[in-house]
Amino acid sequence: MMNLLIIAAIVLGIIALSKVVKVLEKASTVRGENTYTPTDKENKTQALLMPIFLLVYFAFIAWQLVAWGDRMLPMAASEHGIVIDKLMDTTWIIITPVFIVTHILLFYFAWKYAYDKNRKAQFFAHSNKLEMLWTAIPALVLLILILYGLSIWNDTMEPLTAEDEPVEIELYARQFDWTARYPGEDGKFGTADVRLIEGINMLGLDSTDENAWDDKYVKAEFVIPVNRPVQFYFRAQDVIHSAFMPHFRAQMNCVPGMTTRFNFVPTMTTAEMQEHLGDPEFHYQLLCNKICGAAHYNMGMEIKVVSEEEYIAWLAEQNEFLKVEGNTNTTAQTESNSQPSQGAEEVSSL
């Protein structure tokens, strides 16, 4: 809190100083003193401040890394997460030296070539070689990074097939909580429609669709097996949310009216991560990474990664959506509002 107050005071001080400078400039203009030539001493003082500011600037960046470095992304716990981290490390390795060198040169030239009435600046209008140099090299580096990132993105987003034997989960977002749905023993998601949301039927499942009868849904937490592909489907009821699972390097927007997808293979169980971190209270989290309203900060869900045997036993104990007797509503079963899933005939979108 104290750091925030100090920063706020500095910002307000800078704003106030800039206003004072503008007032003095206006007053000078009114008095006809709008032309002012700095003295040699003032020029030297301004030049000397440049390297001093550079050192303070770099020291401030170093302090931030020490103070907040542990707030960066946690250890990756998925197969593609390791590859994404390598891409991030490669990007940092390239841009950090460039950042340091360019800023050193910027402030060095501001210090070195401060105004001197005895020195005349050289007029240099144009150079094709220089322009080609500072255009081609950054463009080539960016091209390499983009192609590298694009190849990782394509591999990560490649849809799973039935041959992959994925675990399928639908994550349903609404202000301000999550609900996870699993297909039942038939391996098929039932259809759903926003018009059917009523009472305990928070997902709007169609009770006349037999595929929905054995669908399982959970709210407090959801469980996935380790070392097995997991195919996620995302829906939203009200506004745009963003499903963010930082340890798995997974993030996908949840958009009302459509179904989005993401898949990954978890590589560490919750127990293994707890042992690795030395924290028995640790658990993976599903967060909302899109500001979706007043309680956005509180929109989370626990994720448990367990063995295949533990996952099967846990899933067998979860609640099923059963047929509601007397419900003959079939208007919601429209092909336009459904999304085919891997190993399933369709997963409905809103």
pLDDT of residue 36: 61
Percentages (nearest 5) of helix, strand, coil residues in the chain: 45, 20, 35
Q: Structure pTM?
A: 0.72
What value does the mean pLDDT of the chain take?
84
Q: Does residue 21 belong to any structural domain of this protein?
A: no
Distance CA 341, CA 350 (A): 15
Average pLDDT of 190-217?
A: 83
Burial 280-299 (b: 16+ CB within 10 A, else e): eebebebbbbbebeeebeeb
pLDDT of residue 31: 64
pLDDT of residue 210: 85
pLDDT of residue 242: 95
Question: 154 with 182, same domain?
Answer: no
pLDDT of residue 315: 92
Q: Does residue 125 belong to any structural domain of this protein?
A: no
pLDDT at 58 over 50: yes
> Residue for token digits 């599903």?
286
Which one is predicted more confidently, 292 or 6?
292
Which one is predicted more confidently, 102 or 211?
102
Question: 167 with 148, same domain?
Answer: no
Q: Does residue 19 belong to any structural domain of this protein?
A: no
Domain coverage including residue 69:
43-113+131-158
Question: 137 with 185, same domain?
Answer: no
pLDDT at 323 over 60: no
Q: Does residue 280 belong to any structural domain of this protein?
A: yes
Q: Does residue 97 belong to any structural domain of this protein?
A: yes
Question: 177 with 302, same domain?
Answer: yes
pLDDT at 279 over 90: yes
Question: 175 with 226, same domain?
Answer: yes
Question: 224 with 340, same domain?
Answer: yes
Residue 258's CATH number? 2.60.40.420
Question: 87 with 208, same domain?
Answer: no
Q: Does residue 26 belong to any structural domain of this protein?
A: no
Which pLDDT band, with edges at 50, 70 and 90, does 1 fall under?
Answer: low
| Selection from 156, 158, 162, 157 nearest residue 183 by Cα | 162
Distance CA 189, CA 299 (A): 25
Distance CA 49, CA 47 (A): 5
Which pLDDT band, with edges at 50, 70 and 90, does 98 fall under?
Answer: very high
DSSP per position, 149-187: HHHHHHHHHPPP-GGG--EEEEEEEETTEEEEEE--TT-
pLDDT of residue 341: 41
pLDDT at 138 over 80: yes
Average pLDDT of 305-315?
A: 94
Question: 168 with 138, same domain?
Answer: no
Question: 181 with 313, same domain?
Answer: yes
Share of the chain above pLDDT 70, in %: 88
Which pLDDT band, with edges at 50, 70 and 90, does 264 fall under?
Answer: very high
Question: 80 with 229, same domain?
Answer: no
Which pLDDT band, with edges at 50, 70 and 90, does 35 fall under?
Answer: low
pLDDT at 45 over 50: yes
Helix (H) or strand (E) segment spanning residue 308:
helix 308-316
Which pLDDT band, with edges at 50, 70 and 90, does 102 fall under?
Answer: very high
Average pLDDT of 50-56?
A: 93
Structural domain count, the chain: 2
Distance CA 312, CA 108 (A): 64
Measured in degrees and rounded to the nearest 5, phi and psi for residue 36 equal -140, 130
Distance CA 189, CA 215 (A): 7
pLDDT of residue 186: 85
Q: Does residue 28 belong to any structural domain of this protein?
A: no
Question: 178 with 278, same domain?
Answer: yes
pLDDT of residue 280: 93
Q: Does residue 202 belong to any structural domain of this protein?
A: yes
Q: State which amino acid sits at residue 46.
A: Q
Question: 215 with 290, same domain?
Answer: yes
pLDDT of residue 199: 77
For residue 346, how far is the Cα from the chain centroid? Answer: 29
